[in-house]
Every structure is written in C-alpha cells, then in structure tokens.
Amino acid sequence: MNAVLELVASPLQPLDAALDVTVAAGDGYVGAIPAGGSFRIVDLAGNQAADTLFFDAHDHTNRYSAVDTVREQRAAYLTTGSRLLSSNLDHLATITADTCGRHDTLGGACAQESNVVRYGMHTRHQHACRETFVRYAATVGIDARGLTHNINFFMNVPLTADGGLTFADGVSAPGKYVEVRAERDLLVLISNCPQLNNPCNGWDPTPIRLLGWWGA
C-alpha cells in the first residue's frame, strides 16, 4: 500500500512563473489553476506541513478524495506520478515533480476540537487548519460542509503495524518542493499549518512559497 518513492526535479524556473506568493505560517491561500497549468509548493525552511485541498473549478462538489485516491492507486502515500482523484473518480491533478519523496493524505487537518482530544484543554483556542480552510473557502463560495479529507504535503505520518497513524518528525528540508499538473480547471485551497503540539512543523511553523506556470 505504499508508493514507490521517486525524487524528480521540475524543469520549470521560478523567474518564468505567473504566480509567486509567500504564505506566512498559520495563514492560507485560495486560487485558480487552469487546466494544463503547473502549481508548486515550496517548503522554504523545511519541516513544514502544507494542508491542501483541490476542487473542480466549475463544480465544487467534485473535490479531492483521499479515500478514492488511496484505494484506486493502492498507495498510502503520495509522490511523483500519483494521480489525485475526486469523489467522482475524476482525475484532478498529477504530481509531476517531488524533491521531498513522500506526502501524507491520511492524517487530516488539525482542528481546535481534535487538538483538545489529542493534547488537552489548554489547546482549545489555538489556531488550527480547519479554521483557515473555513475562512478562505468562504471567499469562493465553499461552505464548511465542502471541506473534506485533505493532502498534507511534506507531512510525515508513518503507519503502524496495526494500521494506526503517528505524527513524526518531517522528511522534508529547506527548499524541497512538490509540483502538480492540473488535469482540469481547479481551485486550490491551502492552510499553512499552525500546529504547535506535534512535530509535523518541527515545533516551529514557517512560511511556504507558491509558484504557478499557466503555459500559453
């Protein structure tokens, strides 16, 4: 159930990008990716989790499905060549370059409620990815019910022998990136994870950089 990890660099150059945005730690982003366009997430300082959702730009109910993506490819992790599938089994995007090597789509996004369950009542009012998703999704007409199981780019969530999940120190490093090609017009929604209670961000959340190339 694990993908063969293949480190592949992209030929695309930042100087040619149509999109170049830095997202601060704990902040978010929502934007369009046209069909055929390439979209890169760069882990600037290393060991940072970028929680990400993809939606069909013309039908927001046709959105990324972790369950279908894992089942159809029989791979628990995402890496170069992974096809990102929707709940309708439509092919939303393909990972075309990856210098990190493995990305989680099982661990989900942190929320204030799950923080309390996992780490205690003192975390109740800490900011979490769920709140960032809700805030940015609302700006494009997606309500909280449209937010489903996401990708955690750069996050290390090893599977245990009995099928459980553990949050472990990251496998990324400064400047590592992952790049996808949009197979149809997409919306991308990102929460640059603010989590402080497990090592997914190295206990110190940092910015990410987003780059996009839209072709002719």
76-80, 102-106, 119-123: least confident range: 119-123
pLDDT band at residue 198, thresholds of 50, 70 and 90? low
Cα dist from 198 to 110, 168, 193, 194, whole Å: 10, 8, 11, 10
Quick one: which of 120, 103, 101, 123 has its CA closest to 112?
123
Q: Which pLDDT value is given to residue 90? A: 97
Mean pLDDT of 195-205: 73
Domain boundaries, the chain: 14-213
Mean pLDDT of 65-76: 94
Mean pLDDT of 181-198: 89
Q: Which pLDDT value is given to residue 169? A: 66
Q: Which pLDDT value is given to residue 175? A: 96
Evaluate whether 85 touches 93 at the Cβ level (below 8 Å).
Answer: no
pLDDT band at residue 215, thresholds of 50, 70 and 90? confident
Highest mean pLDDT among 9-18, 72-81, 104-113, 124-133: 9-18
Q: Select the more confidently predicted residue: 113 or 79.
A: 79
Cα dist from 197 to 24, 104, 186, whole Å: 18, 18, 32
- With pLDDT > 70 as the criterion, what percentage of the chain qualifies? 85
Mean of per-residue pLDDT scores for the chain: 88
Q: Helix, strand, or coil here: 88?
A: coil
Quick one: which of 107, 105, 151, 113 has its CA closest to 130?
113
Q: Which pLDDT value is given to residue 69? A: 97
